[in-house]
Amino acid sequence: MTEDDIRAQRMAKVDELRRLGIDPYPPRVARTVSVKQFLSSFANLADAGESSVASNTATGAVGKAESLAGRVMSVRQHGGIIFADLFDGTARVQLVLKQGETDEQAFDHFVRFVDAGDFVSATGIAFTTKRGEPSLKVDQWQMAAKSLMPLPSEWYGIKDEDLRFRQRYLDILLNEETRALFERRSNFWQTIRSFLLAREFIEVETPIIETEPGGADARPFVTHHNALDMQAYLRISAGELWQKRLLVAGFPRVFEIGRIFRNEGMSNEHLQDYTQLEFYQAFSDFKEGMTLLQELYRTIVQEVYGTTQFTIRGHEVDFAAEWKQLDYATEIQHTFGIDPVRCTEEEAIAAAKKAGIALGDGDANKSRAVDLLWKKIRQGISGPAFLTGVPVFLEPLAKRDPARPDVVERFQIIIAGSELGKGFSELNDPVDQRGRFEEQQSMRDAGDDEAQRMDESYVEALEFGMPPAFGFGMSERLFSFLENKNVRETQLFPLLRPKTEQ
């Protein structure tokens, strides 16, 4: 039977229900407890010896009537007994309708109208089957929502990746591992939020639509603001420059967990819209930040996974181990024979080409060549490790190292060959900041569309004075690495082309 045939058959059942005066999509149905609560109460009754299984009967019924509501995942009929698995998002329970004990009309209507996939409400009493299965012995039931399409087999689920993403609701419904993954994702962000709130950070919301996208080296999505008749951009960072304005305003600790948008390429590690954490702490620096971040990452893995040891993309990573510090210039000079801080643009480009790195027009400058050299080294580092000593020309928003003015007080967290977090002592010198913005703008004018823009209003805010501060950012990519999965797999609804465009 084709899906069209099944849909037509179920539509006929909908019509028949309506002819009988039964609403197949009622606004409300009876529900006294969740399935999880029902099973918890059932277990307590059993422990207290208040339920029993008669040696020569099918059931040992106990307790008051309860009403459960959920989706029917499967239906099995054996003579005069119907067994159905009910799932409400909290747990599963077996429904049992027995001819001669269940209301006669209710039994008949269940046989005629209920299919796997339907939502129903069922009222009855708790009992245990001969096989020891905690169940609800149903007396009455009500259709809550009639499904028109059949569910895929729970045994096989949806194998096609594109279809799984398009019908993620079915993937979650039928695949317990997928459901558990997104429960862990929720716990991941909640753990971070609780960690920061416990340390007196306040959560803020900053603009998503901006007149000047800043706070990162990335290509923005461009849109038009009709009401103000102007070009606007979706933000490329979780409010970095806005949050630092809040430090100017006197808030000592702020953070935001929010969506950001980058109009760039897709890969196993990169998406165009994703969730990012950024936080800022006044009167702190990147050295204090390293201590704080080790504690945060260790808290995340313990709270979400109950372990510190992971196998990620072929790397063995132990978050409880000592986090090494690596120097940017030392690593590049050792591997490629050039000093990335003092080399010329020609030397950097030549080293990148010699290393087999293809440079596009926008990458044919010192900044991009040096950055790509480092990324080639990074692939072999398991971590966790802190990368420090990054040249000033690669970080326009970080404070210079007083002992080494040509590098900044910045670190990247390196795990399993990738960057999974970045923090630095924030640049609060408005004159230096203006100069770095101007350098970035000149790179943009020369064709590098990922270079940052001049932001006059942010420089103006700095001129009113911003305290010394530490700032940090990390994205949901950390979660995908902990899961050892493609980042698309760890988003509920990754962006896909419409079917008509394929």
Model pLDDT for residues 79-106, shown as the tens digit of each residue? 899 999 999 999 999 999 999 999 999 9
pLDDT tens per residue, range 150-203:
998 765 667 777 888 899 999 999 999 999 999 999 999 999 999 999 999 999
Determine phi and psi for 331, rounding to 5 degrees: -65, -45
- pLDDT tens figures, 331-350: 999 999 999 999 998 998 99
With respect to residue 251, please indicate whether it lies within any of the assigned structural domains: yes
Beta-bridge partners for 141: 122
For residue 446, pLDDT beyond 90: no
Within this chain, do residues 292 and 407 fall inside the same structural domain, yes or no?
Answer: yes
Given a cut of 60, is residue 502 above it in pLDDT?
no
249 lies in the same domain as 126:
no
Instruction: Kindly report, residue by residue over 31-49, the tens digit of the pLDDT.
Output: 999 999 999 988 665 443 3
CA neighbours within 13 Å on the CB side: how many for 42?
26
Structurally, how many domains does the chain consist of? 2
pLDDT score of 58 more than 50? no
> CA 262, 264, 266: angle at the middle one, nearest 5?
110
In a domain, 359, yes or no: no
121 and 220 together in one domain = no
The vertex-365 CA angle with 351 and 238, nearest 5°, equals 115
- 304 phi, psi to nearest 5 deg: -90, -35
Is 481 inside a domain boundary? Answer: yes
Are 398 and 408 within 8 A, CB to CB? yes
Residues 115 and 194 in one domain: no
β-pair partners for 93? 86
CB count within 10 Å of CB 369 equals 25
d(CA 421, CA 391): 18
pLDDT of residue 53: 34
* Residue 205 sits in the same domain as residue 267: yes
Whether 225 and 129 share a structural domain: no
CATH of the domain at 95: 2.40.50.140
Q: 327 - beta bridge partners?
A: 388
Same domain for 389 and 267:
yes
Number of Cβ within 10 Å of residue 470's Cβ equals 24
User: Is residue 377 a contact partner of residue 332, using CB atoms and an 8 Å limit?
Assistant: yes
pLDDT at position 308: 97
* Domain membership flag for residue 333: no
CATH value at residue 278 = 3.30.930.10
Is there a single domain that holds both residue 128 and residue 183?
Answer: no
| Averaged pLDDT for residues 428-444 | 88
Cα 339 from Cα 342, distance rounded (Å): 6
- Do residues 136 and 178 both lie within one domain? no
Mean pLDDT of 378-394: 94
DSSP 279-292: EEEET--HHHHHHH
Whether 164 maps to a domain, the answer reads no
Q: Do 278 and 426 fall within a single domain?
A: yes
The closest of 341, 323, 317, 345 to 331, measured between CA atoms, is: 341
Is the confidence at residue 61, as pLDDT, over 70?
A: no
Q: Tell me whether residue 159 is in a domain.
A: no
Q: Tell me, yes or no, whether 108 and 41 share the same domain.
A: yes
The verdict on residue 341 lying in a domain is no
* Same domain, yes or no: 182 and 111: no
Q: What is the pLDDT of residue 164?
A: 86
pLDDT mean across residues, the chain: 90
**Which residue type is seen at 89?**
G
Residue 103 sits in which domain range? 3-145
Given 92, 126, 145, which residue is the final one in a domain? 145
129 DSSP β-pair partners: 59
Query: What average pLDDT does this structure show over 409-415?
Result: 96
Give residue 152's pLDDT: 86
Confidence band, pLDDT 50/70/90 cuts, at residue 452: confident
The CA distances from residue 319 to 90, 191, 481, in Å, are 32, 16, 13
- Give the pLDDT confidence score for residue 437 in this predicted structure: 86
Is 158 a member of any domain?
no
Q: Are 331 and 349 in contact, with CB atoms under 8 Å apart? A: no
Band (pLDDT 50/70/90 cuts) for residue 56 is very low
